[in-house]
Amino acid sequence: MFDHRLEQLRAHRNNIHRYRRLLQTQLSDLEREFIERRLSEETTAMQGLAADIPPLPSSAVRATCEEITP
């Protein structure tokens, strides 16, 4: 169960990174609105999922933060 939630968090994180990269490209207004909406939805979903997961040991938190840092 815990592994499944971590997998979901990774999927949301990857989608967020993808949407942020797309926002740095040339897009039509419609495309930009769609991506901004999806980015917001992914961020909200990730925050909700993360709130349901118990805290990780500090060593795991450091490793996770290093993965996210650009």
SS3 per-residue string spanning the chain: CHHHHHHHHHHHHHHHHHHHHHHCCCCCHHHHHHHHHHHHHHHHHHHHHHHCCCCCCHHHHHHHHHHHCC
- Cβ(3)–Cβ(53) below 8 Å: no
Query: Is the dihedral angle over the CA atoms 8, 55, 42, 21 positive or is it negative?
Result: negative
**48 is in which domain, residue-wise?**
2-68
Is 68 or 9 the better-scoring residue by pLDDT?
Answer: 9
Of residues 67 and 48, the one with the higher pLDDT is 48
pLDDT of the residue at 65: 52
Q: How many domains does the chain contain in total? A: 1
Cut 0.75: pTM above it: no
pLDDT-derived band at 67, boundaries 50, 70, 90: low
pLDDT of 12 strictly over 80: yes
